[in-house]
Amino acid sequence: MRIATWNVNGLRSRLEFVLHWLAARQPDVVGLQELKLTDEQFPYDELAAAGYRAAVHGQKAWNGVAILSREPGEVTRRGLPGQEELGSRLVTARFGELSFTTVYCPNGKSVGHEDYPRKLGWYDGLAAHWAATEAPARLAVLCGDFNVCPADLDSHHAPGAAADRIFHTAAERARFGRLLEGGLVDLYRDRYPETRMYSWWDYRGGAFHRNLGLRIDFVLATPALAARVRDVVIARQYRKKKDGFTASDHAPVYADLD
């Protein structure tokens, strides 16, 4: 089984690229983030033709998340309770014993911006929601764009150099850490504890070619699922322009499970 996450940075602009990737990599369940379109605008027919069903929690021009799957699932949650004003950022569906959630966590903009404490509050809401509803599940996935670098190894900045910058603060890292303390495993870091690999690169300043990136996209899973992992891949090649299609600023991340 292959599970995946990808912030597509606008699905209308990226649809052909996503279809290319789906055909090439054949994932079974995929969390998409930053759709930037409403449920009504979602390309259900094109994805169905590619063999995928979709559970969507969209929003006009901003945010928006979806789960693509080969097999039908049951949507159990759209939106994070108590955090609706921050937009469409969470959707959960069940596939047999597997509960699959994808999230697009708030960016926060900067430490001095009013969105920064709102980001921390959103994370608090996510931890509480997960503990109350999903933590008891034996087989559960929480994946998406978390907009945080959990450790210095996850950032191109020198150790400690970005401690006061967004994505790197102690408060953000502590919120992410609560999810791991609650029983989730960061599948990539569990598999590759010392590897420096990124999932996001700014479009500006040649950041991708200079490999000035951040690892902010994760597939987290319960221990029972983590024990079944064969490999975890950050598909850096899909951050590149391919066959005339313009890439997102994020690479897809996928995990292969027995």
pLDDT value at 75 more than 90: yes
Contact 250, 31 (CB under 8 A): no
Q: Treating both helix axes as pointing N-terminal to C-terminal, what angle do 115-133 and 170-181 enclose, rounded to 10 degrees?
A: 10
Pairing of strands 53-57, 213-214: unpaired
Does residue 52 carry a catalytic annotation?
no
**Amino acid 137: pLDDT:** 85
Catalytic residue among 52, 116, 123, 145: 145
Task: Please give the average per-residue pLDDT across 138-155, as a whole number.
Answer: 98
Structural domains of the chain sorted by starting position, each given as residue range(s) with its CATH number in brackets: 2-257 (3.60.10.10)
For residue range 23-38, list pLDDT tens digits in order.
Answer: 999 999 999 999 999 9
Site of tokens 């209308």: 12
Does residue 238 carry a catalytic annotation?
no
Closest of 182, 178, 158, 180 to residue 168, by C-alpha: 158
Per the prediction, the chain carries an average pLDDT of 97
Contact 9, 248 (CB under 8 A): yes
What is the C-alpha separation between 181 and 188, in angstroms, rounded?
16
Catalytic residue among 104, 188, 198, 238: 104
**Amino acid 97: pLDDT:** 96
What is the C-alpha separation between 31 and 33, in angstroms, rounded?
7
pLDDT band for 48, please (50, 70, 90 cuts): very high
